[in-house]
Chain A
Amino acid sequence: MNRYRWRTFALEMVMIAVALVVAFPIYVLVNLAIRPTSDTGSPIRPTSSPTLTNLTQAWQEGGLGGALANSVLVTTASVLIVLAVSSLAAYPLARATARWSRGMFLLIMLGLILPFQLAALPLYQTMRDLGLLGSVWALVLFYAGLQVPFTTFLYVGFMRALPRDFEDAAMIDGCRPLEVFRYVVFPMLKPITVTALVLNAIAVWNDFFTPLLYLSGSDQQTVPVALAGFVGQFVSDWNLIFAALVISIVPILAVYFALQRSIINGFAGGLKG
């Protein structure tokens, strides 16, 4: 059964065909983004005169530069905070007795089940009272609180499986607890850290509803909100809209293709739970 036969070849062709169907929308996206507005032919025919004017115009009029900067800032800050807090919080939890962790586990499951819509409106009011509406830091605060439990949960599960011997050895050699964590435990956590990084970064970067609520009406935008505003503004100028979409997709896909192995393993690995 390990030979490459005609049936394997037929399957290969089928799978490639499927992949082409999946890729088809992306092809249309790029095709429309680079064709001049005067070209009104069928959207599936490659344009005869590709141009970059849509892209530059979308960049200038959409305020996408600022939105990208905000998205990068929010994502980086949130993910760093989440990883630092979660890994530190998980360490004592994983090493302590089970009584704690059961309650914690239930609390986290609750957090995963509660839809954000329930908390959104009261939190909106609180944020307004604190004067944080329209500030990217409100988002960082929010994501930190939202993602820390889940991430801690991932870390605890992983740490339980780690042998204690290295930590004991380091302790005997005179390391203080924080040093043990920094130099001994944290390096061993690398696989789960990659998973947590990937899952959190994608969740934060792609989130639309939260920034839609908490940043609306301000000049601070993240990429998804900026795009929604852009679509509202240039309702039927699809060439321009598609150019904006292309601009927003390129950074994600670039990172994805560069790190695809870790990203896919991160998704698959963390969810084995």
Chain B
Amino acid sequence: MLLFAFVVLVPSARGVYYAFTDWDGLSPDFSWVGFGNFTDMAVDPNARQAIWHTLVLAVAITIIQNGVGLLLALGVNTMIKSRNVLRVFLFAPAVITPIVTAYLWRNLLGPDGAVNSLLGTVGLGSWRQDWLGDPQLALWAIVGVIVWQFAGYSMVIFLAGLQSVPKEIYEAAAIDGTGPVRRFWWVVRPLLAPAFTINLMLSIIGGIKLFDQVYALTGGGPGHATDTISTLIYKEAFTLGEFGYSIALAVVLTVIVAVASTSQYFVLSRNERAAS
């Protein structure tokens, strides 16, 4: 508990304090600037863009990753013979170090990378792109990489939820003549509510805090096209020496995470109660 206070609570509190100063990280003297850092941020196009990118990434990742994860879970949770092997393989990317997958994809998505070669081979040569070099595409390329890595993770959690659905209920609905889609919507979906809560929480918080993959894939570039709050925090502090400003950004990040996770928690736990 003391350690927790030492490495998390006390530094966080000091962080909030520094957010209102012009501290440069080195000198012992710095002055109070009030909300100066925050008003700077409001007019700093990089910061505004970074906040926007962070939100887009978090929402896109949450929707796509959980959508894919749910489909995979439904597919694996059937009579198919390869289900156990598939489960192991589809989850595997989730245990690989994120920075490693990011470097791997940086090459695959490059102009001469494997993705373009593959498109050429299957006759879609016209789809070839400089995926990470194009400001319009780079953000979506990052979403794709995250989904590739963590869809299996969502799948495993949905799968645990699906396996707790009693077979009898499902079969009863089938005997009553309910089709597969309606069976899913009216029988399975409500029982998956806890899995939804966990998955959405994890992916939205993970998406907002995203750093490793952006750092390794694009470094926030081209230009500032993929900068997120986290990468901007790092740049401001360690390449520009603007520690006060950097920490003010971290405060904004904290507020976004807090708002997103508490509101989500309340909405979803209400749904959970309604479903049970």
List the interface of chain A (C-beta within 8 A of B): 1-4, 8, 11-12, 14-16, 18-19, 22-25, 28-29, 32, 42-44, 89, 107, 110-126, 141-142, 144-146, 148-149, 202, 205-206, 208-209, 223-224, 227-228, 231, 238, 241-242, 245, 248-249, 252-253, 256-257, 260, 263-264, 267-269, 271-273
On chain A, the residues within 8 Å of B181 by CB distance are none
* Known contacts A122-B18, A224-B100, A227-B103; A43/B11 CB under 8 A: no
Contact with A along B38-77 (1 / 0, CB 8 A): 0000000000000000000000000000000000100110
Return the chain A residue nearest B101 by Cβ: A25
* Known contacts A114-B254, A224-B100, A248-B97; A119/B243 CB under 8 A: no
Does B88 contact A260, Cβ atoms closer than 8 Å?
A: yes
A118 CA / B17 CA spacing, docked (Å): 11
Q: How far is the CB of B10 from chain A (nearest CB, A)?
A: 8
* Known contacts A25-B114, A227-B100; A14/B8 CB under 8 A: no
Does A202 contact B250, Cβ atoms closer than 8 Å?
A: no
B91 at the interface (CB under 8 A from A): yes
* Known contacts A19-B86, A113-B258, A202-B95; A43/B157 CB under 8 A: no
On chain B, the residues within 8 Å of A2 by CB distance are 79
* Known contacts A121-B243, A209-B212, A242-B104; A271/B86 CB under 8 A: no
Does A16 contact B257, Cβ atoms closer than 8 Å?
A: no
B218 at the interface (CB under 8 A from A): no
Contact with A along B248-266 (1 / 0, CB 8 A): 0111011001100110000
A273 CA / B250 CA spacing, docked (Å): 28
On chain B, the residues within 8 Å of A19 by CB distance are 86, 89-90
Q: How far is the CB of A37 from chain B (nearest CB, A)?
A: 14
* Known contacts A11-B75, A245-B104; A119/B8 CB under 8 A: yes
CB < 8 Å: which of B18, B104, B229 contacts A25?
B104
On chain B, the residues within 8 Å of A123 by CB distance are 7, 11
Sorted nearest first, the 9 A-B pairs with minimum C-beta distance are A145-B7, A145-B3, A119-B11, A268-B160, A122-B14, A122-B11, A123-B11, A12-B80, A118-B250
* Known contacts A11-B78, A15-B80; A118/B12 CB under 8 A: yes
Does A115 contact B93, Cβ atoms closer than 8 Å?
A: no
On chain B, the residues within 8 Å of A208 by CB distance are 97-99, 211-212, 215
Does B3 contact A144, Cβ atoms closer than 8 Å?
A: yes
Does B108 contact A25, Cβ atoms closer than 8 Å?
A: yes
A3 CA / B174 CA spacing, docked (Å): 14
B107 at the interface (CB under 8 A from A): yes
17 other contacts beyond A12-B82, A22-B89, A44-B114, with CB at 8 A cut-off? A19-B90, A24-B118, A32-B107, A43-B108, A113-B262, A117-B230, A117-B253, A118-B12, A118-B253, A121-B250, A122-B18, A141-B7, A206-B97, A208-B98, A227-B103, A260-B88, A267-B94
On chain B, the residues within 8 Å of A206 by CB distance are 96-99
A116 CA / B205 CA spacing, docked (Å): 12
Return the chain A residue nearest B152 by Cβ: A22
B146 at the interface (CB under 8 A from A): no
A sample of 18 inter-chain contacts (CB < 8 A) reads A1-B174, A11-B75, A15-B75, A22-B89, A28-B108, A43-B117, A107-B4, A112-B205, A113-B261, A122-B10, A126-B11, A208-B215, A223-B97, A241-B107, A248-B100, A249-B96, A264-B87, A271-B202
* Known contacts A228-B99, A252-B95; A145/B153 CB under 8 A: no
Q: How far is the CB of B58 from chain A (nearest CB, A)?
A: 12
Q: How far is the CB of B252 from chain A (nearest CB, A)?
A: 10
* Known contacts A25-B114, A115-B209, A227-B103; A267/B153 CB under 8 A: yes
Does A121 contact B246, Cβ atoms closer than 8 Å?
A: yes
CB < 8 Å: which of B5, B90, B112, B250 contacts A22?
B90
Return the chain A residue nearest B109 by Cβ: A25
Return the chain A residue nearest B256 by Cβ: A115
CB < 8 Å: which of B1, B82, B100, B104 contacts A15?
B82
Q: How far is the CB of B188 from chain A (nearest CB, A)?
A: 14
Return the chain A residue nearest B171 by Cβ: A1
CB < 8 Å: which of B7, B14, B198, B212 contacts A273?
B198
A121 CA / B25 CA spacing, docked (Å): 8
On chain A, the residues within 8 Å of B103 by CB distance are 227, 231, 241, 245
